[in-house]
Amino acid sequence: MELLKQRILADANIYEGNVLKVDSFLNHQLDVFLLDEMGKEFKKRFSDSDVTKILTVEASGISLACMAAVYFKVPVIFAKKTEALNMDEDTYNTKAYSYTRSEEYIMKVSKRYINKEDSLLIIDDFLANGEAALGLIEIARQAGAKIAGIGAAIEKGFQKGGKLLREKGYKVESLVIVKSMENGNIIFD
Amino acid sequence: MELLKQRILADANIYEGNVLKVDSFLNHQLDVFLLDEMGKEFKKRFSDSDVTKILTVEASGISLACMAAVYFKVPVIFAKKTEALNMDEDTYNTKAYSYTRSEEYIMKVSKRYINKEDSLLIIDDFLANGEAALGLIEIARQAGAKIAGIGAAIEKGFQKGGKLLREKGYKVESLVIVKSMENGNIIFD
């Protein structure tokens, strides 16, 4: 997606440990017009997929999932990472590891919101090692739901997630794939 | 806002400890069409306010803030609650207490995204004791930014937050105000 590539080249920063910082438009400050275009692009790429719900995980995936959901005309469900009084006790849940937070966490989805009739589009801001996507796939498995596909804003092509998920047979659509970011130069695939 | 009242009466559940559970449409599963209408309503209510950015806090405020931002044509910034490698070290930050999580947390916003030129609309799903809003106001104060107003989807009128914020002189707009929810009956103001 050319618009996103240009924005990354203009505004992203690279930090130690392969961190691609896009918090000026994607996951801290949010450019809702860019996100809207990205939502539209997901709809184009999954136009022949049957999608009943979009599944993401808090917090960075929520904005993009919502913008896409408007085009798919379906609800969003975001998996929760933390305990809260207002969370159902009856949940699908699984462990996942966050590299940006250097910690394992449990993601949970209330059993009331996904079931075996569902065909889920998984959406997230980044696809790197695939931890979050694999966690959401596990939640879908527990629910007996189908995976319509996996959409990421930015895939780090030099990490294993995209390859792993495609090898498992999932339709993975990343709006941009970063092939390398050595020496501060971002090269797209 | 009649549409939201009707949805609450149809789908909300009341749990012990004055918990109003709206996770089937507002903060776990998200009805993006309802959220879009709510965003439009915020624009109507703050039509004569100068808003440069919408400020919220992860995770439940993000979807509503984004939907509203489309109408205000401004970016969203969501305060982060957790440490992450991709977070700036130079932040505005403050402590707040979460009643739904029974814990104190630190909310942070990168200094790069708010400054003294900004006029911020604070948006969140709930206004109860006002903890989150007061935290975001403190962050705005640190940045020298103005507060254009505070918008909540659901205000619990029987808790102190709304009164407190209005007494401080802020323009507070809640799309619905729940006056009481005793014995399982939700009464609106």
Q: Percentage of residues in chain B with pLDDT exceeding 90?
A: 88
Compute mean pLDDT per 10 residues along chain A, 189 residues long, and list them: 98 91 97 98 97 97 98 98 78 91 92 98 97 98 98 97 98 98 93
Q: Answer yes or no: is pLDDT of B87 > 80.
A: no
Q: Characterize A22-53 residue by residue with b for buried, 16 or more Cβ atoms within 10 angstroms of its Cβ, and e for exposed.
A: bbbbbbbbbbbebbbbbbebbbebbeebebbb
Closest-CA residue of chain B to A68: B32
Name the residue facing A32 among B76, B84, B100 (closest C-beta): B76
Contact flag A86-B29 (C-beta cutoff 8 Å): no
Name the residue facing A28 among B82, B102, B110 (closest C-beta): B110
| Total-model pTM | 0.97
Output the CA angle B162-B168-B172, nearest 5 degrees. 40
Which two tokens mark B71? 């109408």
Q: Is the torsion defined by CA of B18, B19, B21, B22 positive or negative? A: positive
Optimal mutation site among A7, A25, A29, A101, interface B, most CBs of chain B within 10 A: A29
Name the residue facing B31 among A75, A85, A102 (closest C-beta): A75
How close is the nearest chain A Cα to the Cα of B101, in Å? 5
Q: B149-172 pLDDT, tens per residue?
A: 999 999 999 999 999 999 999 999
Contact flag A101-B84 (C-beta cutoff 8 Å): yes
Looking at chain A, list the stretches that DSSP marks H as alpha helix, in order from N- to C-terminal side.
2-11, 32-45, 62-72, 131-143, 161-167
- Quote the ipTM score: 0.96
Residue B84, C-beta contacts closer than 8 angstroms, at least 6 positions apart: A98, A100, A101
* Residue B96: its H or E element: strand B91-98
Q: B22-81 pLDDT, tens per residue?
A: 999 999 999 999 999 999 999 999 999 999 999 999 999 999 999 999 999 999 999 999
- Asked whether the beta carbons of A26 and A39 are under 8 A apart, the reply is no
Alpha carbons B83 and B89: distance in angstroms, whole number: 10
What are the CA-CA distances from residue A76 to residues A35, A106, A112, B10, B94 (Å)? 15, 19, 13, 19, 30
For A129, how many CA atoms within 13 A lie in the half-sphere containing its CB? 10
- Asked whether the beta carbons of B23 and B13 are under 8 A apart, the reply is no
